[in-house]
Amino acid sequence: MRIGIEINGVLRDTLKKIQQEYEKWYLNENWKEMEFIENEKDIDRKVISDVTSLDLKKHLEFKNEDEIYDFLYKEHTMEIFGHASSVEYNSVNDLNDFYVDMRDNHEIIIVSDEIGKSKPASLFFLAKFGCLLEQVKFYSESTINSLWDSVDVLLTANPNLLLKHPDNKVVIKYNTFYNSDIKTENSISTLKELKTKIENLND
């Protein structure tokens, strides 16, 4: 069985780090007083609500979509995607234990929706926490089919993937506050539960 495990929301607390970086760069008093920031008077920088989805304009005040892209993938990419904390205290250690226990019978792949410089930043994140897995697959909206072609089972917290997946693929929901309203046949709340879940799927 080919098992895909997503970085965002399962291993990496990306959304929390996005909000932290926004507050650091845009809401810091010293930063707001710097004279070289252009057009800052035209926008009221603020946290609209805690970041609970990647639709950032619902949560953080940006000028436009281009500024969101620049913030994520040009200006603060390594800080956000490389230096985010893990979802659980021992996320990657638990993943490594799962890999060692299951690798003889299953192909285990790290998968992640990444753009440009977030790819090396994500590899840094995995290296920083000592990830042992051999395969990493990046995908985007335009290459989503290649993701599904690569896995039989996907562990994800992403609401879009939980709601929209091929009928012949199994999704396991990693429970978070932002996908709690989505009903799925299979779900776990910690990575330690994954081995038992996979064994049950094989029965």
Contact 161, 184 (CB under 8 A): no
Q: What is the pLDDT of residue 34?
A: 52
CATH of residue 189 = 3.40.50.1000
Q: Are residues 128 and 167 part of one domain?
A: yes
pTM > 0.85: yes or no: yes
Q: Please tell me the predicted confidence (pLDDT) of residue 45.
A: 85
Going by C-beta distance under 8 Å and a sequence separation of 6 or more, which residues neighbour residue 179?
Answer: 157, 158, 159, 162, 173
pLDDT tens digits for 63-120?
899 999 999 999 999 999 999 999 999 999 999 999 999 999 999 999 999 999 999 9
pLDDT at 188: 96
Please tell me the total count of domains within the chain: 2
Could you tell me the residue range of the domain that residue 70 belongs to? 14-82
Length of the chain as a residue count: 203
Cβ(125)–Cβ(141) below 8 Å: no
* One domain for residues 78 and 91: no
Boundary-marking domain end, from 65, 82, 99: 82
User: 187, 174 in Cβ contact below 8 A?
Assistant: yes
Please check whether residues 18 and 68 belong to one and the same domain: yes
> pLDDT tens, position by position, for the chain (203 residues)?
999 999 999 999 999 999 999 999 888 765 555 544 555 556 778 889 888 887 899 999 998 999 999 999 999 999 999 999 999 999 999 999 999 999 999 999 999 999 999 999 999 999 999 999 999 999 988 888 889 999 999 999 999 999 999 999 999 999 998 888 999 999 999 999 999 999 998 77
> Are 62 and 56 contacting, i.e. CB atoms less than 8 angstroms apart?
yes
Helices (H) and strands (E) in the chain, counts: 9, 6
- Let me know whether 185 and 149 are in one domain: yes
